Amino acid sequence: MKKGKSSYHHGNLAESLLDAVDEIAGKFGLEAVTLRACAKLVGVSPSSAFRHYSDKRTLMTAFAARALVKLSAAMADAQETAANKNENAFAAVGLAYIEFALDNPAFFRAMWNDETIYATAENYVEAANSLSAHLKGGFADTIDDTDPNNFSSEELLAWSSVHGLANLFVDGPVGNGLSRANKLKMAKEMIAALMPAFEQVPAQS
C-alpha cells in the first residue's frame, strides 16, 4: 500500500524515515535515496531528519538492520506456523526467505550492501548476528544442528540455495515477466528438489 504524508507517524520520525527509504527505493532504486528526499516525503524539514540520522549512510544502516530483523522474524514465524500445523518446517522457512525478497526487494538489496552502510555499527551488527544465529541454528530450527556457532554443510546448502534464487528473482534473469505466484511455484519446486539432501537430517522438535 502506498504511503502518503498523512500516513506517516511523526511521533516516531526515525521509523517514518525508514518507511520513506522503502518507498523511494521501491520506485527509483536505493541510489535515489537521500535524507532530504525522505524528509520531503514524510513532510518534515531536512534538519528534523538529520537529528535522527547524521548522514545517508547512517540512514541506510538503520534500514538494513531493520531488514535483517524482519527477515529473521519471517523465518521464525514460518517455522512456528509450520510446526503448529504439522507441516514441513524446512520448506516453509525456505519459502518465507524467498517471499521476503519478492515482497521487500529494497530490504533484500540493502541487507548486505557494505558500500552503503556502516557494517560495524552496533545496531547493524546486532541484527546481523540475530539472523546469523537463525541460519546457524539448524536453518531456523528445521534441521538437526550439533554446532549452533558454525555453519554445517546442510545449513550452507539451504541458505545459499534460497538466497541464490531470491537474488536471481530480484536482480537476475530468472522469472522475468512471471507473476509472483509463478515465481513461488518455481521456489517450491526448487526447495522440493533440495529435500533429498536433508532426508538423513531429522527436523528438530
pLDDT at 199 (0 to 100): 65
> Looking at the structure, do residues 113 and 165 belong to the same domain, yes or no?
yes
Instruction: Count CA within 13 A, CB hemisphere, residue 3.
Output: 20
pLDDT at 129 (0 to 100): 95
pLDDT at 4 (0 to 100): 47
> Looking at the structure, do residues 90 and 144 belong to the same domain, yes or no?
yes
> Looking at the structure, do residues 81 and 120 belong to the same domain, yes or no?
yes
> Looking at the structure, do residues 96 and 157 belong to the same domain, yes or no?
yes
CATH of the domain at 80: 1.10.357.10
> Looking at the structure, do residues 78 and 168 belong to the same domain, yes or no?
yes
> Looking at the structure, do residues 45 and 67 belong to the same domain, yes or no?
no
Each residue's pLDDT tens digit, 148-174: 899 999 999 999 999 999 999 999 899
pLDDT at 5 (0 to 100): 46
pLDDT at 203 (0 to 100): 45
Q: What is the DSSP secondary-structure string of 154-171?
A: HHHHHHHHHHHHHHHHHH
pLDDT at 8 (0 to 100): 52
Give which of 203, 38, 155, 187 is closest to 106, Cα–Cα.
38
CATH of the domain at 31: 1.10.10
Which stretches of the chain score pLDDT less than 70?
1-11, 199-205
- The phi, psi pair for 203, rounded to 5°, reads -70, 145
Each residue's pLDDT tens digit, 166-203: 999 999 899 888 999 999 999 999 999 998 887 654 44
Using only C-alpha atoms, the chain has a radius of gyration, in whole angstroms, of 18
CA distance 177 to 182: 10
Residue 204 lies in a domain: no
pLDDT at 1 (0 to 100): 35
> Looking at the structure, do residues 30 and 62 belong to the same domain, yes or no?
no
pLDDT at 172 (0 to 100): 85
148 C-beta neighbours (distance < 10 Å), count: 12
Number of domains comprising the chain: 2
* pTM, 2 dp: 0.88
Domain residues for the domain of 32 are: 1-53
Residue indicated by cell numbers 554445517: 152
pLDDT at 197 (0 to 100): 82
109 C-beta neighbours (distance < 10 Å), count: 19
Residue 203 lies in a domain: no
